[in-house]
Structure 1
Amino acid sequence: MMKYILGIAALLFFSCGNKEDILLPKADRTIVKEVMDLSPIYIFFRVNGKDTLAEVNRKNSISTTNWILNIDKRLPLRLVIPEVMKLQEKRRGDSAHKNEAAQNYYSYADSIGKNLAFIPFTNVHYKMVKPKAEVIVFFDKSNKIWVNGLMIKNDKFKNFINEFIDKKSENYQFCFSEDLSFGNYIQYEIYLQSLKINNGQEFIN
């Protein structure tokens, strides 16, 4: 039997009498507050000597339901995204048990509303390579934003996007440092969705 309970900063996972926790990303707003008909999937933060590892538990995943990925915010994208890509490939390739309405979500904690929240990523296609585009927006591991090698202050980024990027074209790509933490990545994802500028592809490098 499995169940999970939300604290504002951690998800407690109970399986076969053992308790484990996942430190969830935090943000100041809710994108989606409730998801019905779901299957939880967990990606745990593990340490083996000097190595950081991502351990996936998808024992309760059902292909026809909405998938909720509960991922520890401390994990770097270089460990998280390859596992997410494997899950996406399995989902997209399982034609025998496909539910076109089923979605994929990341979970996080809304620190203002003090509730569990979700952000969809069903239509995001990840690539573990450098992007090629007229405009490349790069989010580095130190939470700095670079556009074609020029650093843009976070509080100026929205104005830059509105002025220089054609949201209807594919002349821009978003690239995230492979060493960026998953927690900071989710904060950027929420911000980008609020600007309505995600073009469906994201690069990790």
Structure 2
Amino acid sequence: MDDNSRTARWERWAGIPLGVASLVYLGSYAVWVLGEDLPQPVRDLFLAVMAASWALFVVDYAVRWSLSGQRLHFVHRHWLDTVVVVLPLLRPVRVVRVYDALQQRRGERPTMSLQGRVILYAGLSTGLLGFACSLSVYRFEHTAPNATIRTFGDSLWWAASTLSTVGYGDVAPVTLPGRLVAAVLMGCGLALLGAVTGSFSSYLMQRFARGEDEERPPGS
């Protein structure tokens, strides 16, 4: 059995567990950030769950690297997976692969069109990324001097205005970690929203073109 088939088997097996781990990580991170009044042992428990979830991503990355046989070439050929392992903010986005993993386990081809899958994946990724960035910015900002983001609601509002490129400027990060998170959100958010807009436009064009073909008289 060659390396590609072994890698494909591993990805089919690990897809759903990693998707669940993504949601567990995001939920644990949300409780850890927002539950400041919780007893310290409880907060430590959720921190341990986050660490365990991260360990699963590291194991997956190491296994696929080993199976690929590409050595250092694997890092730049799978740069997104590398970034997901390094940056905690992007780990929840891993959940979008669950649909593909389910289809592969059943031996079925995806039932959704390419445009529909891109819109679904990019839209879901945008929402997960925005929520994760909101949590991180709130964590760094709400106790900082001269901060304008004091509540989690402020953080959600900031993420929504940033992702939509509106940028009202009424709330903005003032700390260095908060601004680094903002840079990640701006870069990734614009790319994901661009994918949604482009795929939806392509879908509409195909629908309109199909409608014109159906309305055109035969032989014209």
Please tell me whether Structure 1 or Structure 2 has the larger radius of gyration of its CA atoms. Answer: 2
Q: TM-score when scaled to structure 1? A: 0.28
More helix by share: 2
Q: TM-score when scaled to structure 2? A: 0.27
